[in-house]
Amino acid sequence: MRHPHIDLINGVYCLMLDNLNCIRSWGLFLLSPEFDDEPELRNRISAIWLCSLLDSLEGELRALDGHKEKAEELGLAHITAACDEVGLFTQCVKEIL
């Protein structure tokens, strides 16, 4: 059976998950000493990660307030709290950028 609020849950979850998946996939190449002699690779991966960070900010602008309003309307405090956490995450992203 499909959860009645799965689209809302996934919408909030993906605002953070997409960025985390990027760094999970590519972080090894950025941080491992094995790739210290691969600056071109690291530059390309850094560009991908930068775009991922920008996507997080775009997602916040486009969707976060709507997700939070919907969660409040439905009385879903755990999703409202998750929206607040996403807001904190995007604040960190803004500081990084």
Tell me: the pLDDT tens digits for 17-39? 888 899 899 999 999 999 999 99
- Rounded average pLDDT over 40-48: 95
Residue 90's H or E segment, with its range, is helix 77-96
| Secondary structure (DSSP) of 25-60 | HHHHHHH-GGGTT-HHHHHHHHHHHHHHHHHHHHHI
Note whether 93 and 53 are within 8 A (CB).
yes
Residue 1 — very low, low, confident or very high, per pLDDT cuts 50/70/90? confident
Q: What global pTM score does this model have? A: 0.81
